[in-house]
Amino acid sequence: MKNIAILGSTGSIGRQALEVIRMHKDHFHVSLLAVRSDTDLLERQAEEFQPDAVAVSDSDAGKKWDCRLHGSIRVFCGADSMDEAVRESAADIVLVAVTGIDGLRPTLAALESGKKVALANKESLVSGGELVMKKSRGTGIDLFPVDSEHSAIFQCLQGQDRKAVRKLILTASGGPFRGWSEEKLSDIAPEQCFHHPTWNMGRKVTMDSATMFNKGLEIMEAHWLFNVPYEKIEVLVQPQSLIHSMVEYEDGAVMAQIGNPDMRIPIQLALTYPDRMPTPSRTFVDWSKLSSIILEEPDTAVFRSIPMAYQAGQAGGDATTAYNAANEQAVHAFLEGKINFPMIFNTVESVLEHWDTKPVRSVDDIMDGDKRARRAAEKYIAGIHL
């Protein structure tokens, strides 16, 4: 029986993780459920899974929860509640599935308190990769990737000589606008971005898939997770979303992890590794109906998010923080109708071109870089007139 803490239990990854746990109740106990503010769904989850504790980081939402449910469930409330709850939890594994920079401190708290981390929060490595990996190595605590691409690479590396890796090949679906010109992208409405052709994901990841900024973030994650230089990380578009990523070795052998696009598969593996069990997905590749597997180069002239990711990653310091924060601000402006779709790329490009890169020695350095990048993005957006 493994004790599991789920940070972001009401989000897409969190809900799918609970599907896995529901199917394997004899193997898992939920020790902690943590959310930002959705206490209505949290209450239903708590009633079913009976966690030892819950955490609500939004103070107002937490007060409402505290008033309506006590029982034997301990309640943590407030901005630092996830960190505190993680440190005091009896969890063996902490699934970090909150979105945004808020996932960094709980990730570090889990590692510091000796708990294995199943990481589904990109920003922890994009902004804090140096701090997180140093903490992981220093404590000897495992950091298991939940992203399908990084889970695939992890699996392809098992039993192999890491020194023999020639390159990592991250695959991308290409999103809903694969093959579109920049001119055509100018007329996109926000709601069009949330109709992904193959994956069922949360809104943040789905939006970043439409711009391919998610792949830029994954390039940075791969660099930190697998200690591979940026020049050995490549991106290919695989629109069927069957090949989740590949590893090419010095002898020319290529190992690929293949499966249907269902996040419950990598989520479960992060919780059960090295064991493999049936998943709620119950879906398998029907090879008899697969006539070909498509692979193509991404259009980096249109989807500039990919070359900008290499630029930020190789600059080091807080440049990757700037990449992430500027993208989030630009996406917010796009969804509010202040800028068009291509201006998302222009905004991040402008921020990076004028960025004064600073070293990252602490979480405060990251938070400072995040604020500076958001201000720079807002200033650029304010000068745009559609």
Residue 367 covered by a domain = no
Tell me the per-residue pLDDT of 49-60, one tens digit each, with 9 for 90 and over: 999 999 999 888
Greatest pairwise CA separation for the chain in angstroms: 63
Question: Last residue of some domain: 88, 113, 145?
Answer: 145
Please state the separation of Cα 299 from the chain's center in Å.
23
Residue 187: count of CB within 10 angstroms of its CB: 10
Question: Could you tell me which residues come within 8 angstroms of residue 111 by beta carbon, excluding any fewer than 6 positions away?
Answer: 117, 132, 135, 136, 139, 141, 143
Record the tokens describing residue 323, joined without a space: 């990449």
Q: Is there a single domain that holds both residue 156 and residue 138?
A: no
Residue 375 covered by a domain = no
* CB distance 347 to 82 below 8 Å: no
Length of the chain: 386
Q: Is the pLDDT of residue 69 over 70?
A: no
Domain count, the chain: 2
Least trusted range by pLDDT, from 102-116, 117-131, 152-166, 199-213: 199-213
pLDDT averaged over every residue in the chain: 94
Q: Is there a single domain that holds both residue 233 and residue 137?
A: no
Tell me the per-residue pLDDT of 232-253, one tens digit each, with 9 for 90 and over: 999 999 999 999 999 999 999 9
Q: Is there a single domain that holds both residue 86 and residue 207?
A: no
Residue 287 covered by a domain = yes
Host H or E run for residue 116: strand 116-119
Question: Last residue of some domain: 280, 299, 315?
Answer: 315
Question: Could you tell me which residues come within 8 angstroms of residue 16 by beta carbon, excluding any fewer than 6 positions away?
Answer: 263, 264, 267, 280
Q: Is there a single domain that holds both residue 219 and residue 232?
A: yes
Question: Last residue of some domain: 315, 348, 374?
Answer: 315
Residue 33 covered by a domain = yes
Q: Is there a single domain that holds both residue 162 and residue 295?
A: yes
Q: Is the pLDDT of residue 370 over 80?
A: yes
Pairwise CA distance, residues 110 & 113, whole Å: 5
Q: Is there a single domain that holds both residue 214 and residue 262?
A: yes
Residue 320 covered by a domain = no
* Residue range(s) defining the domain that contains residue 117: 2-145
Tell me the per-residue pLDDT of 311-342, one tens digit each, with 9 for 90 and over: 999 999 999 999 999 999 999 999 999 999 99
Looking at residue 66, which CATH number applies to its domain? 3.40.50.720
Distances in Å between the Cα of 362 and the Cα atoms of 43, 63, 128, 365 are 35, 31, 9, 5
Record the tokens describing residue 151, joined without a space: 């889970």
Q: Is there a single domain that holds both residue 185 and residue 285?
A: yes
* CB distance 96 to 249 below 8 Å: no
Q: Is there a single domain that holds both residue 209 and residue 106?
A: no
